[in-house]
Chain A
Amino acid sequence: MNFDRRSLIKGGAALGLGAGTGLLDFAKAWAQTAPWKPEAGAQLSMLRWKYFVQSEDDAFVKMIEAFTAATGVKVQISRESYEDVQPKASVAANTGAGPDMFWGLYSLPHLFPQKCVDVSDVADYLGKKYGGWVDSAVQYSQSGGKWIGIPVCYSGNLMNYRVSVMQKAGFKEFPKTTDAFLEYAKATKANGSPGGFALGHASGDGNGWIYWCLWAFGGQHVDKNDKVTINSPETEKALNYAKALYDQMVPGTVAWNDSFNNKAFLANEISWTNNGISIYVAANNDPTKKEIAADMDHAYMPVGPVGKPTELHLMYPVLAMSHTKYPMACKALMAFMLEAQNFNPWIESARGYLTHCLNAYDSNPVWTADPKRTVYRDVAKRSLTAGGQGSVGEKAAAAIADFVILDMFASFCTGRDDAKSAMRVAERQLTRIYR
């Protein structure tokens, strides 16, 4: 077999099987020719989000060990829940001390763009080599024309559903439109198998479905100029739809955080929810849940009246802090992580939980080996950014971190506020954030 670059990309899975000495050989060869030579005596520390799939972390550790063996740069990895990476990165940015690199969530680099190392050269190198970046990843990682982070991967947030429940409810396939989905929710509840979306302060799943719903009906929290537009008839339609959906859900979703729907799905308490592929992976890993794994599948989020996908998926950018003594080592590691020989086996080890941001990796067999994973291949391309129509900077990050939109939906769905009051409260908060 001729191992040129193209075949390496296409045959990523095969490379994964040969990880070990093959990976080390590649790492050594790569270190010789890489455009970034780590500083003498460089040592790095990285704080990353804590894995959801063990095999992903194992593959990541192997990759880092190969990097260390090839470059002599020791890398200390710490792991935190993805929601906790941001506060720690913020403190590091404020104090100018702490880990050299942070691998966090959404628009993390935009919270302190002036404290991030300019990694435009790394992004250009990878983009040219691997078929370019998806649009949303570019938006998440650029500030003032510079790349302040490298978009490593997405974690998809799509519909998880039980096939038998769907069939019992009289549907041949999972609904593709919001109207059909509401009918589906009613039918599944009537059959005693309701679903549920998290309406508590769930950063991933909660914000995921709420923003999808808002955008599906044409609502936008800001326009292109970051002018607040949340108080609109479109938002009200989205609220009414969410309320109608909420009425069909299992009780208690207003208290759900990110893990509740996983637990409930795996305990046969709900038949549909929005999530990454982790429920499916967990079901496959547990001999007592094999039945669930066999009976479940995934689908895109239904399309609303706007007529196009309005999904929001979790993006994980990695950034280097400007206080690092070893910026070249940081850049070398970023580039190394996303080279096909490393990235393909790693993304495969995540078993569909993570999705690439570089177009060339579409051909990784991980997406076709199990057809139930295939929809997750496209999440990076389908995802909008947390800023909606507006900028993706710190204001959008603040709005999503403060759960402004999520609280608006929750207060309306639970009857605490009527639509007008809920929108007014959100409008006031957003006006301050976007001033």
Chain B
Amino acid sequence: MADIAMRAGAKAPPREPTAWDRLKVNRNWLGFWFMVPAMAFLILFLAYPLVLGVWLSFTDARIGRTGNFVGLENYEWLAEDSNFWLVVFNTVFYTTVASVAKFAIGLYLALLLNERMPFKAMIRALVLIPFIVPTVLSAIAFWWIYDSNFSIVSWGLREMGLIEGNINFLGDVWNARWSVIFANVWRGIPFIAITLLAGLQTVSPSLYEAATIDGASSWQRFRYITYPLLTPIIAVVMTFSVLFTFTDFQLIWVLTRGGPVNATHLMATLSYQRAILGGNLGEGAAISTAMIPFLLAAIMISWFGLQRRTWQQG
């Protein structure tokens, strides 16, 4: 056999493999084609809309018309628009207060649910209720709870003799801000609590046992065992929480439509109002695009700040 092969080789030396031949057996090339469907999906549904949105913000596009390139005009207009800055303040305030509250209460709840208690499984399931109720439904419930005439809270306090008139929940600037934040916190806590609870369950009990034997207090066990081991999941959960809160729309739209006097307008609701209801796509896109730096900053803080330990180890 070897002889035959040698003779055949002598007659017709094997041709140099072409680039195509090499490509056919190239594992990276094959891998690329396996990636194409996912890449096409991401480009079509994520990258393209994002780029289109950014592009629209540099045009004077209106609904039904493509518009012309106007450079930074939309941004220059917004920079001097007092309503826009009020909305930026509202959004940052809403996100900061709601996220901190959700984290604090969510972590507390997770720690409680991690303890041994009767009916543990049922209580854990109950905690999820605010999260599984559709946002619009819970918003409508809050709409009634906050009603200036029919609020059950006002009624209850009035019956107890604590107040005389109804509380103007959504009609006063600061009352309205705190009211929408409360509704957001109520809705967002289960997501954080259950996710952190999942993280807590991964902490090995032996670490706590060792710490207890060493004489660590419950605060020290939390500070030096629970918290460090939980930071990666805190980073993830807070990133999502901040993103969801910053881009909140439904709750505000159902409860206040941005009122009173734009006191609860968020960037997402203002963008919708100007782009879709007002027909000014370019300006609406500019407001949406202006959200990106804030969101990026939030992500950076979460990842580089909270995951510092992982980075140092890496």
Q: Say if the beta carbon of B224 comes within 8 Å of chain A.
A: no
Number of A-B residue pairs at CB separation under 8 A = 109
Which residues on A sit within 8 Å (CB–CB) of B81?
Answer: 428-429
User: B150 contacts A263, CB within 8 Å?
Assistant: yes
Q: Please pick, from B82, B260, B277, the residue contacting A199 in the complex, using a CB distance under 8 A.
A: B260
Provide the bound-state CA to CA distance between A429 and B83, in Å: 10
Which residues on B sit within 8 Å (CB–CB) of A428?
Answer: 80-81
Task: Give the size range of B's interface with the partner.
Answer: 35 or more
Known A401-B279, A402-B278; judge A254-B261 contact (CB<8 A): yes
Which of B88-96, B130-138, B166-174 participates in binding chain A? B166-174
Interface readout for B257-296 with A: 1 if CB under 8 Å, 0 if not?
Answer: 1111110000000000110111110000000000000000
Q: Say if the beta carbon of B305 comes within 8 Å of chain A.
A: no
Quick one: which of B176, B258, B273, B278 has the most chain A CB within 10 A?
Answer: B278
Q: Say if the beta carbon of B184 comes within 8 Å of chain A.
A: no
Interface residues of B, Cβ cutoff 8 Å to A:
62-65, 77, 80-83, 147-150, 165-166, 168-171, 173, 176, 256-262, 273-274, 276-280
Instruction: Pick 28 A–B contacts, CB within 8 A, sort by A.
Output: A83-B277, A90-B276, A91-B276, A93-B63, A111-B63, A114-B64, A200-B256, A201-B257, A252-B148, A252-B166, A252-B168, A252-B171, A254-B171, A255-B148, A255-B169, A255-B171, A260-B147, A260-B148, A260-B149, A263-B147, A263-B150, A269-B149, A398-B280, A401-B277, A402-B280, A407-B262, A410-B259, A410-B261
Quick one: which of B83, B149, B261, B274 has the most chain A CB within 10 A?
Answer: B261
Interface residues of A, Cβ cutoff 8 Å to B:
83, 86-87, 90-91, 93-94, 111-112, 114-115, 199-201, 250-257, 260, 263-264, 267, 269, 394, 397-398, 401-403, 407, 410-411, 414, 416, 425, 428-429, 432-433
Please give the distance in Å from A80's CB to the nearest CB on chain B: 13
Knowing that A90-B276, A254-B171, A267-B150 touch, tell me 19 more A-B residue pairs with CB under 8 angstroms: A87-B276, A91-B276, A94-B64, A111-B64, A115-B64, A251-B148, A251-B165, A252-B168, A252-B170, A254-B260, A254-B261, A255-B259, A263-B149, A401-B273, A401-B278, A401-B279, A407-B261, A425-B83, A428-B81
Provide the bound-state CA to CA distance between A48 and B116, in Å: 56
Which residues on B sit within 8 Å (CB–CB) of A432?
Answer: 77
Closest residue on chain B to residue A89 by CB atoms: B63
Which residues on A sit within 8 Å (CB–CB) of B262?
Answer: 407
Closest residue on chain B to residue A253 by CB atoms: B171
User: B149 contacts A252, CB within 8 Å?
Assistant: yes
Provide the bound-state CA to CA distance between A131 and B211, in Å: 92
Provide the bound-state CA to CA distance between A94 and B171, in Å: 36
Which residues on A sit within 8 Å (CB–CB) of B83?
Answer: 407, 425, 429
Which residues on A sit within 8 Å (CB–CB) of B65?
Answer: 112
Known A90-B279, A254-B171, A267-B150; judge A414-B260 contact (CB<8 A): yes
Q: Please pick, from B62, B64, B259, the residue contacting A254 in the complex, using a CB distance under 8 A.
A: B259
Which residues on B sit within 8 Å (CB–CB) of A407?
Answer: 83, 261-262
Provide the bound-state CA to CA distance between A407 and B261, in Å: 6
